[in-house]
Structure 1
Amino acid sequence: MKNRLLLALALAATAVSCHDDDVDVNQLELVYEDSVYQLTGVTVAAGKIFTNYPRWSDIHQYDVVQVNGIRSSSPYPNEAWNSWEPGQDGENKWVCAQALYRDDEGYMWAVDPASPRMQGVYEGSHKLVKIDAATNTILRTYSFDSVASPNSYLNDVQVDTERDMAYLTNSKEGGIIVLNLATGQARQVLQNHYSVMSDPAYTFKIDGKVLSRFGKPVKMHSDGIALTPHRDWLYYKPLTDDKLYRIKTEYLRDGSLSETELGRHVEDLGHFAASDGMIFDKKGNLYLSDMQHYRIVRITPQLRMQTFIKDRRLSWPDSFTISEGGYLYVTCSRIHEQPDYNDGVDKRQGRPYTIYRIRL
């Protein structure tokens, strides 16, 4: 009888642990670290790892680099593209590179909101740049001078190679840019829709402290963005709340719909995590960063949220990419430790900005 009871208890414990959302067995592997300059984006293309450094302060050297080792990198695609100075033309140079992306054909894309310190677009030079990482060649630059306002901040991108479309978020104002890659025509949509705006009622805290800047709670709008594996749905969310939204891409591509009609097609999926980066795997699982809890969560196709990995080293998990080798890469940008968010005090305490990878 005693043995049966012990067996029953063991089986029950096993059943609970298999469904415990706070249990994970995944491990972080350090790929790159930088103790000086703040990075945000990451991608792997043509067998190379890339990251970028937005121009958010005077502590800045390069915008886009190729990672050559754990503490080694080189300006990409060359020194010239990384040589911009105020007063120069920003069309053919990085001004404030924010995000990187690899499409299904292996090409790399770089988002440059061209807004140093997030204080306004420099001379209409906000752009999306397509790069052949195999040959280190700039293939095409898409400008948003007539699409996104001088107050915008383009944040992240997703590319649908089958339909020749790209989608970008505007995190400072709230909105989604729909870009036809064949024609270069672009338009911004959903700017006045609740789904692209951070919920004013949500209190965004990390380590028990409200994230504030210049004495006011920080509100960052539409930021994370991800296409489903078949590119038929676009998922997106504001950064400083935990709501998740989606819309069919067929509606975004339909230029005949009014803003009101388009807004009716947005689906509110509910509360999950306050997230920066997001990405789908080939099985339809959605990975979200969770800055408030130092973790990455996984949303199943049935919309069940699970902890994928929880680790104190995930200090503001920022951006994702998935390599062909089956690794999830994540950057840690430590945004909440910046002086601007801590009354001028730098709380990094010498810890580096990092890129990790986790086996999927």
Structure 2
Amino acid sequence: MNRNFSAVLLFLMLSGILACKHEPFPGGDHHQKLELVFKDSAYQLTGVAKQQGGLLLVNYPRWSDKYKNAVVSVQDTIHSTPYPDQVFNSWQPGTDGRNKWVCVQSVYVDDNNTIWVLDPAAPFLKTIQGQGAKLVKMLGNRKMPMEIFDLNAVLPDTAYANDVRIDVRRQFAYLTESKGGGIIVIDLATHKMRRVLAGHYSVISDPAFKFIIDGRELMKDGKPAKFNSDGIALTPDGKWLYYKPLSDDKLYRIETQYLRDWNLSGNALERHVQDLGHFSTTDGMIFDRSGNLYMGDLQHYRLLKITPSLSMHIIVQDPRLIWPDSYSIAGGYLYVSCSQIQKQPEYNNGIDRRTSPYTVYRIRID
């Protein structure tokens, strides 16, 4: 056999092997059905949280003048009530925001079935208002919160706290900050907190990545839209915190023992960040009890599952998954909210491209 031909054949074989190894979406059932659990034709929602055998909560950030409530408890597919009551949802610009919802970005239910509400308190994604940046621990239908964690001391006025995960065993909270990029660590027992990894490459969207969605690069004010650290997930044992910038496909993790070590300097902490490689553009993400990581694929209207061995599978692909945003797992179902962010006027030269309601779906995963 000709030596040159053999070399080419070997190259092609190796290329095929490598291509197969890096094939991003092996297997998976693309035809699992989404079940609609809530829709809102008027107001843009972002977050969803489902208690085991209890409440289904949805939140609405104050991103436009078309706004009613920050957090609601869902009654059926079209009806909801303000959570925990109307008073908490009655904040007005220019007033104190420490004891009311100002601009809630996410809701979360921890392993003890406790509800948490994250309020970055930055209407229109601008600056923190009324000293209202806070993480709030709730308990079901109680009219008052159990505990409020004031974030103002650890965040600049321009910050936007985005998502939260709670380690109930060690009593720590981990939050992403999506404007400047960074992780907020809170000792829930003492209220001590700090912001870490600020500006580190793992919390900053890759400037070279082109965020193509609906056939075009997502743009804002004539520039590529960039979203920094957003999605965050805690492994079932609390050992690892996974996180990523939104507008690229990289995924990172760090052992939480280092985040909880207040004596580690910024540089020392950065050395423990692990780059897991390329996966997808996702907003939120969440682990199940078996250690599978669920996330979205904003560019292709898909939900994905990443196994503990980092093998990635499509679990559903559906045109109704218009910017799958936040996730919650309860009763064997994965709940996902669809916020349609790419259809907002600021990403479409002032034109509202939304043609269907904002929605929450669920899909059986057990």
Q: What TM-score do you get using the length of structure 2 for normalisation?
A: 0.91
Q: Which runs of 5+ in 2 are unaligned?
A: 1-24
Q: Which runs of 5+ in 1 are unaligned?
A: 1-18
CA–CA distance in 2 between the matches of 1:332 and 1:126?
24
CA–CA distance in 2 between the matches of 1:182 and 1:22?
42
Match of residue 352, structure 1, among 338, 357, 362: 357
CA–CA distance in 1 between the matches of 2:107 and 2:143?
14
Match of residue 33, structure 2, among 24, 27, 41: 27
Indicate the residue corresponding to 1:112 in structure 2.
119
- Alpha-carbon shift at residue 134 of structure 1 (Å): 4.9
Q: CA offsets, 1:92-141, max 9 Å, x none?
A: 00000000110111110000000000011113320000000154541011
Indicate the residue corresponding to 2:207 in structure 1.
200
**Mapping of 1:167-316 within 5 angstroms?**
167-316=174-323
Match of 1:178, SS state, is: strand
CA–CA distance in 2 between the matches of 1:122 and 1:87?
8
CA–CA distance in 2 between the matches of 1:125 and 1:84?
10
- Alpha-carbon shift at residue 87 of structure 1 (Å): 1.2
- Alpha-carbon shift at residue 191 of structure 1 (Å): 0.2
**1:99 equivalenced with 2:106 (yes/no):** yes
In the alignment, is the contact (CA less than 8 A) between 2:180 and 2:199 conserved in 1? no
CA–CA distance in 2 between the matches of 1:309 and 1:237?
22
CA–CA distance in 2 between the matches of 1:135 and 1:153?
27
- Structure 1 letter corresponding to 2:340: R
CA–CA distance in 1 between the matches of 2:143 and 2:39?
23
- Alpha-carbon shift at residue 263 of structure 1 (Å): 0.3
Indicate the residue corresponding to 2:342 in structure 1.
336
CA–CA distance in 2 between the matches of 1:136 and 1:353?
27
In the alignment, is the contact (CA less than 8 A) between 1:154 and 1:169 conserved in 2? yes
CA–CA distance in 2 between the matches of 1:176 and 1:96?
19
**1:73 equivalenced with 2:89 (yes/no):** no
- Alpha-carbon shift at residue 181 of structure 1 (Å): 0.5
**Mapping of 1:75-154 within 5 angstroms?**
75-154=82-161
Indicate the residue corresponding to 1:42 in structure 2.
48
CA–CA distance in 1 between the matches of 2:159 and 2:142?
32
- Alpha-carbon shift at residue 357 of structure 1 (Å): 0.3
CA RMSD of superposed structures (Å): 1.1
Indicate the residue corresponding to 2:324 in structure 1.
317
Q: CA offsets, 1:65-113, max 9 Å, x none?
A: 0000100001110000000111111000000000011011111000000
In the alignment, is the contact (CA less than 8 A) between 1:190 and 1:196 conserved in 2? yes
In the alignment, is the contact (CA less than 8 A) between 2:249 and 2:278 conserved in 1? yes
CA–CA distance in 2 between the matches of 1:20 and 1:87?
52
Q: CA offsets, 1:175-205, max 9 Å, x none?
A: 0000010111110000021000000000001
Match of 1:195, SS state, is: helix
In the alignment, is the contact (CA less than 8 A) between 2:95 and 2:130 conserved in 1? no
In the alignment, is the contact (CA less than 8 A) between 1:44 and 1:321 conserved in 2? yes
Match of 1:292, SS state, is: coil
Match of 1:69, SS state, is: coil
In the alignment, is the contact (CA less than 8 A) between 2:242 and 2:253 conserved in 1? yes
- Structure 1 letter corresponding to 2:347: Y
CA–CA distance in 2 between the matches of 1:144 and 1:33?
31
- Structure 1 letter corresponding to 2:37: V
Equivalent pairs, count: 340
- Alpha-carbon shift at residue 22 of structure 1 (Å): 6.4
- Alpha-carbon shift at residue 215 of structure 1 (Å): 1.1
Segment of structure 1 superposing worse, 107-116 or 120-129: 120-129
CA–CA distance in 1 between the matches of 2:30 and 2:213?
21
Identical-pair percentage: 54
Match of 2:75, SS state, is: strand
Q: What TM-score do you get using the length of structure 1 for normalisation?
A: 0.93
- Structure 1 letter corresponding to 2:94: G
- Alpha-carbon shift at residue 25 of structure 1 (Å): 3.3
In the alignment, is the contact (CA less than 8 A) between 1:124 and 1:150 conserved in 2? no
Indicate the residue corresponding to 1:5 in structure 2.
none
Structure 1 residues 22 and 285 mapped into 2: Cα distance closer, same or farther (>3 Å)? closer
CA–CA distance in 2 between the matches of 1:183 and 1:75?
30
